[in-house]
Structure 1
Amino acid sequence: MFWIYGFYVMTPRKPKSENSIVDIARALGISPATVSRALNNNLRISEATRVRVKEMAKEMGYRHNSMASSLRNRRSNTIGLIVPRISMYFHAFFITSLQRQLQAAGYNLMICQSNDSVKLEKELANSLYSARVDALVVSLTLYTEDISHFEGFVKQGIPLVFYDRVPAEGTPSYVIKGDDYRGGLLAGNHLVGAGCQRIAYVSGPLSCSIYHERTRGFMDALAKQDVALRKEWVYHHELTMENAWNSLRKLFDGHDVPDGLFAANDTTAIAAVEFARERAIRIPEDLRIIGYSNDPRTSIITPSITSIEQYPHEMADKVAETLIDALQQPVSGSSVSIGDPVVCPVDLVRRMTT
């Protein structure tokens, strides 16, 4: 630190050089190879020597260089994960379950968040590729249609798994998704079966696989029962609370209003319940509501919300099984076929809004 024109200026501190295996070996008077074997619990080294080496390593502040080790072994024991938003219930539950299973199998999980930005997703894919992850798991952004930024993983034979939000069929990767078509079908059939004839639909962008499939299933359900879906009562946008309220105002500002609503996520369904309370709309007498994902909030809000259960733990199980199989059996590969989608089940959970 020195003084210039009335200010103290901090001089940059030079990083302190770290002790290496060679330094530990010199301090103990043994070979670096013996130190390396002792630190890796090699049984050829006596327990007494292993204890001495580890105590000295701790005293000298030695840190294992996992990056250098991974370069030598060509394995990092790290799996990359790119999710749209960690705050979403489905992905939060999925991450917890996947991490637990991968750690039990000896792998670390490096979690990245795209924030539904295609640009950021590309940057994260490149960063994880450069970090030499052993495999990559991805749930795409709402707007990802070109997946060429993942080609490096495919070309190098690095296992690539898409889950939930997945690319178009035929991609050279593992694909594990929910049965979103059936989810839409269940929602449509349930609303019509409950007596709804004037049904509104608030969904996410059709560029995203899950909303495309939910929409297809929902429209097929209504068409088969001769219930018309008015274009002016259908909205496709990011399913935030603010967007939900904007759509609901448009739906209920006139005299002719819906008697049923399928919200393609639970955030929108919760907004609909709050909106109905503010407008004195009776649920389910005047309006029946179905959400999607079975977020825990749907069971504690009043009235509790009917929703589509996605079983995120089952999807995590399948992803973990596929990854571990592919990594531990690189010759034969995973029992799941590349490019052949695995479809996880969904179910309707009926509550007080229907």
Structure 2
Amino acid sequence: MKKELTIYDIANALNMSASTVSRALNENKAININTRNKVMQYALENGYQSNTFAANLRQKETHTIGIIVPKIDSKFVSTCLAGAEKVASEKGYNLLISQSLDELRREESIAKTFFRKRVDGLMVSLTANTTDTKHFAPFIAKGIPLVFFDRTPELTDSACFIIDNYQAAYKASNHLLDQGCKCLIHLTLNSNNKVYWQRKKGFVQALHDANKTNCGETLFLKNLDLDAGKQAAVLIAKKSPRPDGVFAANDQTAVGCILAFQQMGIRVPDDIAVVGFNNDLVCEIVSPGLTSVNYPAFDLGAMAANQLIEHILGNSNLNVTNQTVLKSDIIIRGSSLKIKKQP
């Protein structure tokens, strides 16, 4: 492999000092224009690449934001990252993205790696079972700004960016009840994270307010994906009385239910209405279309990144507002419409 050209190589070739070459490459006006052009021309012709990372380290800045997410293959997560990347790029920052694969030990390891890489700030969406966030303490101790988004800790002094999961689940459950469902079931993850227990809490409260506490239950799943939804559908079909309304904690699980119900000859929504969460693209691909809570993922990622970078730049203070709550709504499609609109 060809040796990388350094400023010392350029200095030797042009019979200049390394400091003169460095200032010329940085377009320092104290250096004669002819000298600057000579240095620039030689650097261009010989493939010189500036080591911005090393320069930034000397200035105690890397212009890099670390992001830890559970899984990148989630449409919700990838949309969050798109929002964060847009903002970061506009403000001259790069993103270092790593996935925990929903494993706490991996999340801890990534945090250590990002700390050693000296990121200027950190954005985190926790694993489903992270209850202790002490592995982020070094960032706080060093004064490196930290924000959480979507899956956030129960107790933290760091800024958090979320939606009201309780209220969103309450509305989704009420929609099923308004459609005439008599017996509901909530499919959720067996997790300590407040995202899921707040959705469960909203589901339970909707049943309570409708005086249907005896007509609802929660089924805890090991995963929230297509296969988990299909397996849950088989269990639901065997129940007596059989639920006629399903509220799933994400869209993949809801779609898995719909596909399995259809294979078993159970009509959606006539026999069982289904509602999901996140409003992923799959909602419009499945038939009937999946009713889902619309989670503004792009805005969430963009807002979290913007507030973080503005804090780094000294233009705002993350500590002023501990929690930012974005609005969500329900996108109603065919999977839940038991009551047909009159023409």
What is the Cα deviation at residue 47 of structure 1? Answer: 4.7
Matches within 5 A, 1:317-328: 317-328=302-313
2:279 paired with 1:279: no
Task: Give yes or no for contact 1:219–1:229 (8 Å, CA) kept in 2.
Answer: no
Change in Cα spacing, 1:289 to 1:46, as seen in structure 2 (3 Å) is farther
Task: Give yes or no for contact 2:85–2:302 (8 Å, CA) kept in 1.
Answer: no
What is the Cα deviation at residue 150 of structure 1? Answer: 0.2
AA aligned opposite 1:334: N
Task: Give the corresponding residue for 1:3.
Answer: none
Answer with 202-211 or 88-97: which moved more: 202-211
Of residues 267, 272, 278, the one that matches 1:293 is: 278
Distance between the aligned counterparts of 1:100 and 1:57, measured in 2? Answer: 31
Query: Larger relative CO (CA 8 A, sep 6+): 1 or 2?
Result: 2
AA aligned opposite 2:320: S
Answer with 83-92 or 235-244: which moved more: 235-244
Task: Give the corresponding residue for 1:42.
Answer: 28
2:165 paired with 1:193: no
Of residues 103, 112, 116, the one that matches 1:130 is: 116
Residue by residue, what CA displacement relative to the aligned partner does 1:68-104 show, whole Å, maximum 9, x if unpaired? 2122100000010001111111110111111111111
Q: Please, what TM-score do these two structures have when normalized by structure 1? A: 0.90
AA aligned opposite 1:63: Q
Distance between the aligned counterparts of 1:43 and 1:295, measured in 2? Answer: 53
Change in Cα spacing, 1:312 to 1:27, as seen in structure 2 (3 Å) is same
Task: Give yes or no for contact 2:84–2:306 (8 Å, CA) kept in 1.
Answer: no
Distance between the aligned counterparts of 1:275 and 1:228, measured in 2? Answer: 27
Unaligned runs of 5+ in 2: 337-343
Distance between the aligned counterparts of 1:70 and 1:309, measured in 2? Answer: 40
Q: Please, what TM-score do these two structures have when normalized by structure 2? A: 0.92
Distance between the aligned counterparts of 1:47 and 1:310, measured in 2? Answer: 54
Task: Give the corresponding residue for 2:290.
Answer: 305
Distance between the aligned counterparts of 2:304 and 2:261, measured in 1? Answer: 39
Task: Give yes or no for contact 1:201–1:261 (8 Å, CA) kept in 2.
Answer: yes
Distance between the aligned counterparts of 1:33 and 1:263, measured in 2? Answer: 63
Task: Give yes or no for contact 2:159–2:318 (8 Å, CA) kept in 1.
Answer: no
C-alpha RMSD over aligned residues: 1.9
Answer with 187-196 or 57-66: which moved more: 57-66
Distance between the aligned counterparts of 2:171 and 2:151, measured in 1? Answer: 20
Answer with 126-135 or 229-238: which moved more: 229-238
Residue by residue, what CA displacement relative to the aligned partner does 1:88-134 show, whole Å, maximum 9, x if unpaired? 11110111111111111010011111110101100000000000000
Unaligned runs of 5+ in 1: 1-14
AA aligned opposite 2:317: S
SS at match of 1:292: strand
Task: Give the corresponding residue for 2:65.
Answer: 79
SS at match of 1:291: strand
AA aligned opposite 1:87: D
Distance between the aligned counterparts of 1:34 and 1:166, measured in 2? Answer: 50
2:335 paired with 1:353: yes
Task: Give the corresponding residue for 1:155.
Answer: 141
Of residues 245, 253, 277, the one that matches 1:260 is: 245
SS at match of 2:213: coil
Task: Give yes or no for contact 2:122–2:146 (8 Å, CA) kept in 1.
Answer: yes
What is the Cα deviation at residue 172 of structure 1? Answer: 2.4
Task: Give the corresponding residue for 1:334.
Answer: 317
Distance between the aligned counterparts of 2:317 and 2:37, measured in 1? Answer: 40
Distance between the aligned counterparts of 1:191 and 1:242, measured in 2? Answer: 23
Alignment length (residue pairs): 336
- State the identity as a percent: 34
Task: Give the corresponding residue for 2:341.
Answer: none
Answer with 94-103 or 125-134: which moved more: 94-103
SS at match of 2:335: coil
Change in Cα spacing, 1:230 to 1:42, as seen in structure 2 (3 Å) is farther
Task: Give the corresponding residue for 2:56.
Answer: 70
What is the Cα deviation at residue 333 of structure 1? Answer: 4.6
SS at match of 2:241: coil
Residue by residue, what CA displacement relative to the aligned partner does 1:136-186 show, whole Å, maximum 9, x if unpaired? 0000001111100000000111000100000013x1211111111111111
AA aligned opposite 2:85: Q
What is the Cα deviation at residue 291 of structure 1? Answer: 0.3
